[in-house]
Structure 1
Amino acid sequence: MTSTTSSFPERIELAGEGLVLRDWTEADLGAMPELFDHPDIAYWTPIVSPFDAPAARLRLDRARQLRAEGTTILLAITVDGGAPLGEVMLRRAPEGAELGYAVGPAHRGQGLAVRAVRVMAAYAFEQLGVDQVILELEAENTASAAVAVKAGFELLDVPLIEGDEKGRPFALQTWGLSRS
């Protein structure tokens, strides 16, 4: 898929796997720092650190901008449509769609990331018509590699994606899940 594909819906709510993935709202701004201002998230993700109230406002605004551009969806992970427990991302990519996720430290160990990835992958296959969904993860991020395996992804035999972010080098492995 390319950036010429149609835009995303103005509002999205996806339910499945005991979760409701929904749009971020103004009411979530106060909860976002608790979810994202953590050393693990600062280290493994491109999310800004420190993550404070102004960062929350910028993230909400950026999520809305990326949605309007038709490139990326950022959704709050919830169990019932209420309090956010983390975030799942879908970005259009040459391979089809790329997913990403972050779960707040207080909410880890409940399978939220695995379930959110499965729901978002199903959306990509069914609604966007992609043939493959990918995750790009650092091999040393054992928690994210475990999410990939549990969600049914396989490590692809493609070159590492190398770069530098937040002053540290990284090398990302690409994991793939194909439409069944």
Structure 2
Amino acid sequence: MSSTTSSFPDRIELTGEGLVLRDWTEADLAAMPELFDHPDIAYWTPILSPFDEEAARTRLDRARSLRAEGATILLAITVDGGAPLGEVMLRRAPEGTEIGYVVGPAHRGQGLAARAVKVMAAYAFEELGVDQVILELEAENASSVAVATKAGFRLLDVPLIEGEEKGRPYVLQTWGLSRP
């Protein structure tokens, strides 16, 4: 299966680890600012800040266009298919099949990110046929390092990724999880 030509399904719902990962919908727009408009999220992620209702609409539209292009899936993290608690991403990129995540500040400390990463990794292995998934994160982001470790990833011996986002320089490590 070619990672550049195959498309994603129009609708995705993944279950496992006590979670339901589902598509974002218009009904989620009001909840998105509460999840994404936070200093930690502004600092550690490329998510727009401040994050308001207009940013929520833009993110929902972008999620749909990225899915249609076959490049990226953005799914709401829920426990029951209802209220969104965060987001998990799967992105096909030249450097590998990358997973990313963000959990709303009110929902942290429940293992949601690590569980969502495990479910998304299983999807990548089983449905997309990839041999490895990666996380790219800053060593100083202790929460993300803990998620990577808890989800079974290991730090890979590959060059660091240097860049700048929102006027802030960053250096990313690459963590990997191989197909079981």
C-alpha contact (below 8 Å) 2:115/2:151 kept by paired residues: yes
Aligned sequence identity (%): 86
Give the letter aligned to residue 125 of structure 1: F
Structure 1 residue 3 displacement after superposition:
5.3
Any stretches of 5+ residues in structure 2 without a counterpart?
Answer: none
Give the letter aligned to residue 159 of structure 1: P
Structure 1 residue 111 displacement after superposition:
0.2
Give the letter aligned to residue 23 of structure 2: D
In 1, Cα distance between equivalents of 2:8 and 2:154: 27
Q: Secondary structure at the match of 1:64?
A: helix
Q: Identify the range of structure 1 (2-11 vs 130-139) with the bigger mean alpha-carbon deviation.
A: 2-11
State the partner residue of 1:57: 57
Any stretches of 5+ residues in structure 1 without a counterpart?
Answer: none
Q: Secondary structure at the match of 1:7?
A: coil
Structure 1 residue 100 displacement after superposition:
0.2
Superposed CA RMSD in Å reads 1.0
In 2, Cα distance between equivalents of 1:5 and 1:136: 24
Give the letter aligned to residue 43 of structure 1: Y
C-alpha contact (below 8 Å) 2:4/2:92 kept by paired residues: no
In 2, Cα distance between equivalents of 1:42 and 1:2: 34
Give the letter aligned to residue 6 of structure 1: S
Deviation per residue, 1:113-144 (Å, 9 max, x gap) = 00000000000000000000000000000000
In 2, Cα distance between equivalents of 1:131 and 1:163: 27
In 2, Cα distance between equivalents of 1:142 and 1:170: 15
State the partner residue of 1:150: 150
In 1, Cα distance between equivalents of 2:154 and 2:173: 11
Give the letter aligned to residue 111 of structure 1: G
The ranges of structure 1 where at least 4 consecutive aligned residues each deviate by more than 2 angstroms after the TM superposition are 1-5, 93-96
